[in-house]
A and B are shown apart, each in its own frame.
Chain A
Amino acid sequence: MAEVTYKLTPKDFKSDQEIRWCPGCGDHAILNSIQKAMAELELPREKVAVISGIGCSSRFPYYMNTYGFHTIHGRGAAIASGVKVANPELSVWQITGDGDAMAIGGNHFIHTIRRNIDINLILFNNEIYGLTKGQYSPTSPFGSVTKTSPYGTIEPPFHPGELVIGAQGKFFARTIDINIKLSTDIYIEAAKHKGTSVVEVLQNCVIYNDGAHAALVDKEEKDERTIVLKHGEPMIFGKNRDKGIILDGLKLKVVNLNDGKYTVNDLLLHDACEMNPGIHSMLANMRYPEFPVALGVIRSVTAPTYDDNMTNQIKQVKQSAKIKNMTDLLNTGNTWEIK
């Protein structure tokens, strides 16, 4: 049978379901970026499985014209792990939020990353519980006033990048929902990376936490407050490309390239492929206003994946195996005949 090939477009990945997210929600832009990335990657639709847990973001699979599974709260990572290990040929995407992945699903999140299962884990971080209408999440900043913290939260938040690297993550990237170009590029990178690729999307909840990332999307100031990291390039940012990041002792430091003390040559070169996570961890942890917030692929190192290890182990064991089927197994060890 001849294979029919045709160019995929983002539209091919849209399902017939009416999208139920609030108007103005950052999720719309994320959906568009991912559909764009999938079209550019030319992923056959039947080979794509989109798995989600519970939360606003987790409605995502219904809007994709691929295989999809809207599962239960926090368990998306475990279910996606099962899908990928059961059929390593699939392109598996997990859609999750800060509550789903960092709170109820925290255990599955870190262990999936530790195992390095080849899935693309897209973490929508709006620092709030939206579907339950406005309670603080594990990523809400200290002191956040929400429905369950009317006097402000009294617990420090998780920073997803730190957690990913702490769990031996091999791929961590950050983007902003409305930056479709950057997001699409990052999703493509994430999909190409073999292993668990975590993308933190700074996403705006227009109803319950509007403007959580306002400082970073402000048209005038965003270039001063964020830095887009590119592998092999110096860490330079600013509207006029006049600021950079250097290593000062064991810490990062923002420097001005206009005051004559530093040149581009003094700036750190971004090496996403460095195995040592030290600098990646510091980059992932840069926070406004002390630092620009790092966007782009912060860490991307190659390591064996769980699913490949599984496939290889089975292949290897089978090569020298004496037991080839159930009948062989039944007859192993001590058996005896009764006549």
Chain B
Amino acid sequence: MSKKAVTLEKDEVVIRFSGDSGDGMQLTGTQFSNTSALFGNDVSTFPDYPAEIRAPQGTVGGVSGFQLHFGASEINTPGDYADVLVAMNPAALKANLDWVKKGGTIIINIDAFTEKNIARAGYDSNPIALYKRDYNFIEAPITELTKEALAEFQLDQKSIMRTKNMFALGIVYWLFDRPLSYTEKFFEEKFKKIPIVVEANKRVLRAGFNFAETIEALPRNYKVAPAKINPGTYRNISGNTATAWGLIAGAEKSNLNLFCGSYPITPATEILQELAARRDLGVKTFQAEDEIAGISTAIGAAFAGNLAVTTTSGPGLALKTEASGLAVMTELPLVIVNVQRGGPSTGLPTKTEQSDLLQALHGRSGEAPLVVLAASTPSNCFNYAFMACKIALEHMTPVILLTDGFLANGSEPWRLPKMEELPAINVPMAKPNDTNYLPYLRDKETLVRKWAIPGMAGLEHRIGGLEKMDLTGTVSYVPKNHEVMTELRDQKIKKIADFIPELEILGDKDADLLVIGWGGTFGHIYSAVKQIQKENKKIAFIHFHYLWPLPKNTGEVLSKFKKKIVCELNLGQLADHLKVNVDGFTCEKYNKMQGQPFTVVELKDTFTKLLEEL
């Protein structure tokens, strides 16, 4: 039995692992979150890492972090402030101290707190002495004890040092009374061919666990009960993986081959990687020479009858602008995934932002309407990627799916969908030798043209970027025809509003204050709204997943509330979009441009103040 001094029952806990970007903190965090999810907790995670792969060791700029939030009830965000911080060196402490709750536990590798490292982190004196009163420090000689644990192993110094993150993980596992088995199994599988590495990692993990159990310096440990979660089969999933899988599901459901033309770009690259690994499902990935070739090969594949996809982030979307206009003009199905990051230009490649909304809506030459969707949680990236495929194919249009760096890298447990429960995708495919076929003959209801693909006899036709004659699709410079076609393209997209769900009001429908959000901020806003409701105050919340066309009841919903506030990680792009498209719409705005998600605390404070002003 362990000598646990005090056991604190907690409903939810936030842990942040931090160290040099080479310290393996992402792996450590992932291990803890997977173990907790298997234990039955609800979990939400968010990695926070520098753009540099290996920034100078020991500097604040090189600190890589991984935050996770787990609990016995529904968890919507990775948490604002940490209950427990693991800091592998002084720089990690410096970079993260502001994010630790007062009185929280800080586990440090005391061996790394040398004078040199303390100075390199920018501290004038030893920070432990400075902050000892405010926090509960656990000073663990991680480097020394790791070396000791592996003394009899025939491993070089570098390999030994690479396992010290497992020592830290062992301590945290003890702190939360978690089994080591998941992580042990992980190493057994990952390094199957190098048994010594498996054994070394397992040994150090256990050494960390035993250290925590043995020392009497640990004043407390925590207990977080499993959450009440809907029955089903679960797995952890990140936004990028969910996006890739949603696309594959779209291909399977539509019975088409999936083609992805892409160019690697942070933070979207994992989608391409995930798809590239799926040759077993017949997925064709084409790593193109640039962003333009990425979308262009995809357009070629769409012309040839594949479910075509291109994935990118902000600057890449800018490069794809002209070609996306071609997809609008030729009315070919195409899914463009934009994983937003801080901008403009190279901006903040590894940080999150929602500043590409207006680019997605309007960033093309000419009148070039297309569909814009946004996912709102890591796991629902699957659903919206699937919906993007469905809309693109059924309405013969490019669709931009917006996710962001926060959703892309964040992860959460996800109840696996059943393929048969996903809606059918009815592709408007032309029939070979149909003598009535005309390339731009449209369905009367939806204004959708038919898709005739090379290989279909009797339907040979030409399309292109030049304006085309209504019905026949031949090149046309007839003035009136251009107006007709411009309006048809516009109407076709607007009609999609008939096929998408209406806005759902969360919270109190009779509240005076309506909070409005879109995309990846859902979890933080919803948590803040729920906390306010718990205080017996009335507040309502709507969250947009369909940005264009807007849901049909948008105007009606917005008109019901006295005061509205639009919260977004930009200068107010959704607010502007709503002002243009909803008559008489006025709102307050809450905006943040720090490359970081909202905190629940700041949102709650903002809403509380507004409620007081009412």
Contacts and interface: CB of A to CB of B under 8 A. Distances in A.
Contacts of A70: 462-466
Given A67-B461, A70-B465, A334-B38, A87 B297 contact: no
Contact of A17 (B252, B278, B304, B474): B474
A263 interface: no
Given A82-B296, A338-B40, 4 more contacts: A85-B297, A86-B257, A90-B455, A336-B234
B412 to A, nearest CB: 14
A333 B30 CA distance: 14
A321 B304 CA distance: 27
Given A61-B462, A69-B464, A87-B305, A334 B236 contact: yes
B41 to A, nearest CB: 11
Contact of B457 (A46, A71, A87): A46
A143 interface: no
A82 B300 CA distance: 4
B317 interface: no
B300 A81 contact: yes
B522 to A, nearest CB: 22
B165 to A, nearest CB: 20
B429 interface: no
A107 B289 contact: yes
Interface in A63-81: 64-72, 75, 78-81
B235 interface: yes
Contacts of B326: 71-72
A318 B475 CA distance: 44
A335 B475 contact: no
Interface string B124-137: 00000000000000
Nearest to B465: A72
A214 interface: no
- Among B231, B235, B259, B297, which residue has the most Cβ atoms of chain A within 10 A? B297
Contacts of A83: 300-301, 303-304, 454
Contacts of A61: 462, 464
17 contacts: A15-B462, A49-B303, A62-B475, A67-B461, A69-B303, A71-B464, A72-B322, A78-B289, A79-B300, A81-B300, A82-B261, A82-B301, A86-B300, A90-B304, A324-B280, A326-B249, A330-B417
Contact of B416 (A44, A66, A335, A339): A335
A69 B463 contact: yes
A314 interface: yes
Contact of A337 (B233, B284, B292, B474): B233
A329 B237 CA distance: 12
B323 interface: yes
B459 A46 contact: yes
Contacts of A265: none
- Among B288, B415, B419, which residue has the most Cβ atoms of chain A within 10 A? B288
B306 A329 contact: no
- Among A67, A70, A333, which residue has the most Cβ atoms of chain B within 10 A? A67
Contacts of B231: 337-339
A106 to B, nearest CB: 10
B139 to A, nearest CB: 34
Nearest to B433: A46
A309 to B, nearest CB: 11
Nearest to A79: B300
A79 B297 contact: yes
A108 B293 contact: yes
Interface in A4-51: 15, 17, 44-49, 51
Contact of A65 (B34, B38, B460): B460
B282 interface: yes
- Among A49, A82, A335, which residue has the most Cβ atoms of chain B within 10 A? A82
Nearest to B227: A338
A337 B236 CA distance: 12
A238 B229 CA distance: 87
B576 to A, nearest CB: 29
A291 to B, nearest CB: 33
A330 B281 CA distance: 12
Nearest to A15: B462
Contacts of B292: 75, 78, 108
Contacts of B440: none
B286 interface: yes
Q: Report the interface size class on chain A.
A: 35 or more
B298 interface: yes
Contact of B454 (A47, A72, A108): A47
- Among B229, B234, B461, B462, which residue has the most Cβ atoms of chain A within 10 A? B462
A165 to B, nearest CB: 19
A210 interface: no
Contacts of B257: 86
Q: Report the interface size class on chain B.
A: 35 or more
Interface string B319-331: 0001100100010
Contacts of B299: 71, 79, 82
Contacts of A65: 460
Contacts of B454: 46-49, 67, 83, 87, 90
B280 A326 contact: no
B37 interface: yes
A326 B323 contact: no
A310 interface: yes
B279 interface: yes
A68 B252 contact: no
Nearest to B304: A86
B230 to A, nearest CB: 7
A68 B464 CA distance: 8
Interface string B432-448: 10000000000000000
A89 B281 contact: no
A68 B280 CA distance: 32
A317 interface: yes
B108 interface: no
- Among B301, B308, B416, B457, which residue has the most Cβ atoms of chain A within 10 A? B301
Contact of A79 (B235, B248, B296): B296
Contacts of A87: 304-306, 453-455
Nearest to B236: A334
A314 B276 CA distance: 11
Nearest to B293: A78
Nearest to A110: B289
Given A44-B457, A72-B323, A79 B303 contact: yes
Contacts of A321: 280
B245 A46 contact: no
Given A49-B304, A70-B465, A87-B304, A329 B248 contact: yes
* Pairs A-B, 7 closest by C-beta atoms: A82-B300, A70-B464, A321-B280, A82-B297, A78-B296, A68-B462, A86-B301
A299 to B, nearest CB: 22
Given A46-B454, A81-B300, A326 B234 contact: no
A84 B303 CA distance: 10
A247 interface: no
A108 to B, nearest CB: 5
B587 to A, nearest CB: 39
B290 interface: yes
A44 B302 CA distance: 21
A313 interface: yes
B38 A336 contact: yes
B232 interface: yes
Given A81-B300, A111-B289, A323-B281, A335 B460 contact: no
Given A90-B454, A324-B280, A331-B416, A78 B288 contact: yes
B456 interface: yes
Interface string B22-44: 00000000000010011010000
Nearest to A45: B460
B279 A317 contact: yes
B295 to A, nearest CB: 8
Interface in A170-184: none
B458 interface: yes
Interface in B230-280: 230-236, 245, 248-249, 252, 257, 259, 261, 278-280
A85 B303 CA distance: 12
